[in-house]
A and B are shown apart, each in its own frame.
Chain A
Amino acid sequence: MLDKKIRVLVAKPGLDGHDRGAKVVARALRDSGMEVIYTGLRQTPEMIAEAALQEDVDVVGLSILSGAHMALAPRIMDLLKANGQTNVKVFIGGIVPDEDIPRLMEMGITGVYGPGASTEDIVKDIKNAVK
């Protein structure tokens, strides 16, 4: 049997076109030995949930800089649940006001990262979350 690889879907829901952050994170996860499925820009929640299902990922990483996280995150959580993927850990990176973070955590989001977050922390948190 081979080592179980951590599979991560990195996706950008919504309409903002800034994917630099998502790419930096994807690269960092790759360098930590994870398999990253990168889906690119302008994904709908449905597309993200579908990709997460087909790829049987352990983690979904959402990059949201548009401010629409309070609309997009619950939708994605619901779809993942509806597909039976209740074990999948969801992380958000981007521009998220501090007061939204507790509400996102309540929804079941595992971690939220803003500007300046270290990729090492993200890697560590993901590894802990899927243990």
Chain B
Amino acid sequence: MISLEESILQGDRLALARLLTQVENDTDDGRAALDALFPHTGKAHLIGITGAPGTGKSSLVNQLALHFRREGKRVAIVAIDPSSPFTGGAVLGDRVRMKDLSGDNGVFIRSMASRGSIGGLAQATANVVQVFDAAGYEIIMIETVGAGQSEVDIAKLAHTTLVVEAPGLGDDIQAIKAGILEIADIMVVNKADRPGAESTEKALKSMLELAHPTQRVFAHHGKYMSAALPIETETNIWIPLIQRTIATDGKGINELAHQIAKHREHLIVSGDWTIRARARLESELDAALQSALMDRFRERVSEDQFNKVMDQVLERSLSPLEAVNMLMNGSLK
């Protein structure tokens, strides 16, 4: 019998689906397979798609996937929807907008529930992405939970982050607030056939001008670009692009895909690709370390002991920080 990771590398879809479940549930088998697959990762282009609920993220992912398929690339999609904070249950509905992709073996869609994570992704998303990467999917699109303003974890995971906006969601003050717009490599004004698309684009543009006063150089783009080198290599700065789309009928998708490719090229030429890879792996290492320390802590401190301290906190005879000190130092009564 061949091992799970070998079947993954050979393209067994059922094995892949089952491993994703193991990884999502953080089982020992899942962890072992991740270790074995790790050397095969690091090749895929990870594209994050985030934005408020209802802006058209899923439809956009659907269209982009069709585009990448026409280019002959294998596409994996990880679509995250929220879990109920009360029951832990979830309704994952992103597939509804991705019907065009069924029947194509070059596409694999996996829905994930956020399971209590608040950064717009699920805790296991990075690991799920890694499995797809090892399985040879060249493009991996990660669609976040419908994000408000501060769900910015996706920027750490993805190489290229798309922030999807739609007309009518707020004025230009929204555009200068910190948070989600800051992480955009490309801003998408979707539903561009709706009234207000122009002013949405204008608000985003003026925000960009505030952030990048040198943008005027951009206007001379054509002149300097005759050598077909991206202008970003001169300044080493990527100025986020704005692209209008109408995801339901595919308008603007070719242009958007072109910009995504351009961003990838920028990352490679500028060295950002490696820098981002390092930052990503560092935060993964960090998270793994934290959970390992937590496990070790739980091994040493019994639930009983923990509950005793917790009771004291509840009675206000111990502050949470004092309790932590007590638990860490093992000075338990």
Contact = CB atoms under 8 A, between A and B. Distances in A.
A35 B92 contact: yes
The DSSP consensus for interface residues of chain B is: mixed
A50 to B, nearest CB: 6
B238 interface: no
Given A35-B113, A39-B96, A51-B102, A85 B91 contact: no
> What's the interface size class on A, roughly?
20 to 34
Interface string B98-119: 0100110000111101010000
A1 B28 contact: yes
A36 B92 contact: yes
B141 to A, nearest CB: 14
B103 A5 contact: no
A1 B25 contact: yes
Q: Is the interface of A mostly helix, strand, loop or mixed?
A: mixed
Given A38-B95, A54-B108, A31 B17 contact: no
B211 to A, nearest CB: 39
Contacts of B330: none
A1 B32 CA distance: 13
A102 B31 CA distance: 43
Interface residues of B, number: 30
A35 B84 CA distance: 10
Interface string B58-92: 00000000000000000000000001100111111
A2 B91 CA distance: 19
Contacts of A54: 13, 17, 108-110
Q: Which of A5, A33, A54 lies at the interface centre, i.e. has the most chain B CB atoms within 10 A of its CB? A: A54
B25 A56 contact: no
